[in-house]
A and B are shown apart, each in its own frame.
Chain A
Amino acid sequence: MVVLSISFLIFSNPSIMLSTMIDASSSALKLAIELCAVYVVWLGILELVEESGLSQKLAKLLHPLIKWLFKIDDEETEKMIALNMSANMLGLGNAATPMGISAMKRLDDGSGVASHAIIMLIVLNATSIQLLPSTIIGLRASAGSVSPADIILPTLISTICTCVVGVTLVKIFGRLRQKLNTRQKYKQEKSGGKR
């Protein structure tokens, strides 16, 4: 992708390549600093939620859902996922990130291949349900909309659609993968038996 872009630039405008790259990385640095500030607040809050035992309660509340989605049985991970999902639903994507990352770390088995739970977590975060698109409403208001908030309902409907499609697909693929795995195991056992 990058090679293609650069080779295009050679024909159109070779002088701006380096400056574009540096501009982009400096805005990434700016973003990282902003994110750092956001994380300071949210990780501080998160620590409080953890210590006070609230996260455990939240995890218990979401336990059936998480169990059905992720098929895991680890209290600590469940807690992180519960917090990640709640933050996402409140529209706090950046606050959800640190919890999502720590859930990820706990789900990682070191094999290098994404497990069902890891894929589910990625897809859930990539299609997260947004209850209140506040930034977009703000943009519409400043662009002179008569009723900037009338996109809430359509957004809610489509965001639920996206999420349902994502979860369903992950479930279907997960099932297929399981079948493939058992078939492979069966074959291996069979060939092992012949020897």
Chain B
Amino acid sequence: MSAYILPVIFISLFCYSKYKKINTYQTFVKGAKKAIPLAIDILPYIATIMIAVALLRVSGITILLAKFFSPLFTLLGIPSDLIELVLLRPFTGSGSFALLNDVLLKYGADSYISRCACVILGCSETIFYVTAVYTSQTKVKRLLYAIPVALISAVVGSVVACLICKVI
């Protein structure tokens, strides 16, 4: 069902553009041209974040952090096996998907822990990555409360996720 949504949107868009007498080919090319400078501009930002995350993981700091935070997480009702996932999720999309796959294979796709992991990933975003990319083209240096608010919401989301998975 959902597979049809995009094709239908695209077809209607192309038809609508034709109806509006727009040169679809040239307009598309004009927009597509902007992609290359954009990708080049954001590359340094993603690279820096990914380097920092890679160092964090190989150094074993994430495991230490997981141990450190485990009492807090049990208090919040998040299974201790998912701490690394919750901690890494704000930084890396591909990394957290790799972790999710490990969890799925280790505990079985239909276990409580796996379902929790799936919902946590589904309701959260790569906060630091998003912030870095979005601000990369602006002069904004001080983000004030943007990141704390996003992180708090993510934690609330994770707690809700684990609760719901128990009920449903």
Interface, chain A (partner B; CB < 8 A): 1-2, 4-6, 8-9, 12-13, 16-17, 20-21, 23-25, 27-29, 31-33, 35-37, 39-41, 43-54, 90, 93, 97-98, 100-101, 104-105, 107-108, 110-114, 118-119, 121-123, 125-128, 130, 132-136, 139-140, 143-148, 150-151, 153-155, 157-159, 161-163, 165-166, 169-170, 173, 177
Contacts and interface: CB of A to CB of B under 8 A. Distances in A.
A126 B125 contact: yes
Interface of B: 2, 5-6, 10, 13-14, 16-17, 20, 22, 24, 27-36, 38-40, 42-43, 46-47, 49-56, 58-61, 94, 97, 100-101, 104-105, 108-110, 114-115, 118-125, 127, 130-131, 133-147, 149-150, 152-154, 156-158, 160-161, 164-165, 168
Is the contact region of chain A dominated by helix, strand, or loop, or is it mixed?
A: helix
Contacts of A93: 125
Is the contact region of chain B dominated by helix, strand, or loop, or is it mixed?
A: helix
Contacts of B53: 24
A33 B39 contact: yes
A32 B42 contact: yes
Contacts of A154: 115, 119, 161, 164-165, 168
Given A24-B47, A24-B53, A113-B140, A162 B124 contact: yes
B60, B124, B130, B139: residue with the most chain A Cβ atoms closer than 10 Å:
B130
Nearest to A111: B139
A158 B60 CA distance: 30
B2 A132 contact: yes
Given A21-B55, A46-B31, A121-B134, A133 B121 contact: yes
A28 B47 contact: yes
Contacts of B153: 123, 126-127, 162-163, 165-166, 169
A134 B1 CA distance: 12
Contacts of A97: 133-134
A108 B138 CA distance: 6
Contact of B35 (A12, A40, A169): A40
Given A132-B2, A143-B105, A1 B38 contact: no
Contact of A148 (B109, B142, B143, B146): B109
A127 B50 contact: no
5 contacts: A5-B61, A28-B50, A44-B32, A157-B164, A158-B120
Given A20-B58, A132-B2, A51 B123 contact: no
A177 B146 CA distance: 13
A163 B124 CA distance: 9
A173 B109 CA distance: 40
